Amino acid sequence: MSAVRIYHNPRCSKSRQALALLQARGEEIEVIDYIEDQLSNAEISDLLKQLGMRARDLMRSGEDSYKELKLGNPDLSEAQLVQAMADYPRLIERPIVVYNGRALVARPPERIEELFA
């Protein structure tokens, strides 16, 4: 069995809840604090592929940096949005959980069960 990977922000209550659910399942967990250890463009692009999402769909539009950087501009390319998430990791929706090549944004945290169904 492969480990479950969680892209985790310890300051986020939903992320903490998701981690607790994984721990309660007794899963082997790889925790990635993506705020401290920022993700590269390639890592973000790989996650987007696994999630089946476009960059804009993974962005937290309520963040101050989203507004300050004018990331709502529809003319911005996918590459520009990925770069913004690499530069400003708080823009990335959380938590992201990956298991056996599948990924999802665990909001609400109970969505994690979808990966094990």
The string of DSSP letters for 61-101 reads TTSHHHHHTTTT-TT--HHHHHHHHHH-GGGB-S-EEEETT
Instruction: Provide, rounded to the nearest whole percent, the portion of the chain with pLDDT above 70.
Output: 99
pTM: 0.93
pLDDT of amino acid 117: 87
- Kindly name the residue from 5, 12, 14, 17 that is annotated as catalytic: 12
pLDDT of amino acid 2: 75
Q: Can you tell me the mean pLDDT for 19-44? A: 96
- How far is 112 from 70, CA to CA, in rounded Å? 32
Please indicate whether residue 12 is annotated as part of the active site.
Answer: yes
pLDDT per position as a tens digit, 41-84: 999 999 999 999 999 999 999 999 999 999 999 999 999 999 99
CB burial of residue 79 (10 Å; 0-12, 13-18, 19+): exposed
pLDDT of amino acid 81: 98
> To 5 degrees, how large is the angle CA 62–CA 64–CA 69?
105
List Cα–Cα distances, 54 to 3, 23, 88, 103, 117, in angstroms.
25, 29, 17, 14, 25
Decide the pairing of beta strands 4-8 and 29-33: parallel
Q: Which helix (H) or strand (E) holds 20?
A: helix 13-25
**What CATH architecture is 4-116?**
3-Layer(aba) Sandwich (3.40)
Instruction: Provide, rounded to the nearest whole percent, the portion of the chain with pLDDT above 90.
Output: 95
pLDDT of amino acid 28: 94
pLDDT of amino acid 1: 54
